[in-house]
């Protein structure tokens, strides 16, 4: 199934609910074992937070190998392709390694405790 990012994430892509909607569109397709072609053509919304919020949590419910084999990305420049690969790898580790998750969560807690 082809998913056009610009049809879900509008404009500059600064609305987190749109990122969640993108995730919620993709995840059930992967769960059925179907391929997803994620097409960024015409989208101005590409940013690391979008990739982390929309695609990183896929690894909570799907093994990395499944995501890599079923998710293809079109019209995404090389910098963001590498960023996406990093997001997927880190997310997989976060959801599958309790010690790593504890360290990451602790670091974020300390970062925000003074605010």
Per DSSP, the residues of 4-54 read: EHHHHS-TT---HHHHHHHHHHHHHHHHTT--EEEE-TT-----HHHIIII
Range of the domain at 42: 2-113
- Per-residue pLDDT tens digits for 7-23: 998 877 778 889 999 99
Q: How many CB atoms lie within 10 A of CB 71?
A: 20
- Please provide the average confidence, as pLDDT, over all residues in the chain: 92
What would the mean pLDDT of 25-29 be, rounded to a whole number? 97
Q: Hunting for tokens 């995730």 — which residue is that?
A: 23
For 33-42, how does the pLDDT look when each residue is reduced to its tens digit (9 = 90+)? 999 999 999 9
Q: Which residue has the higher pLDDT, 92 or 16?
A: 92
Count structural domains, the chain: 1
- Cα 44 to the center of its chain, rounded Å: 16
pLDDT band of 5, cuts 50, 70, 90 = very high
- What is the structure's pLDDT at 50? 87
Strand pairing report for 2-4 and 36-39 = parallel
Over residues 58-83, mean pLDDT: 96
Q: What pLDDT is stored for residue 114 in this prediction? A: 66
Element (H, E) at 64: helix 64-70
């Amino acid at each position: 199934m082809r998913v056009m990012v610009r049809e879900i994430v509008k404009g500059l892509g600064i609305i987190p609910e749109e990122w969640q909607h993108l995730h919620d569109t993709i995840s059930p397709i992967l769960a059925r074992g179907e391929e997803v072609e994620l097409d960024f053509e015409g989208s101005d919304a590409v940013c690391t937070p979008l990739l982390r919020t929309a695609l990183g949590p896929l690894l909570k419910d799907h093994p990395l190998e499944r995501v890599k084999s079923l998710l293809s990305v079109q019209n995404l420049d090389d910098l963001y392709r590498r960023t996406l690969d990093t997001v997927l790898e880190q997310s997989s580790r976060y959801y599958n390694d309790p010690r790593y998750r504890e360290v990451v969560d602790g670091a974020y807690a300390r970062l925000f405790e003074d605010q």
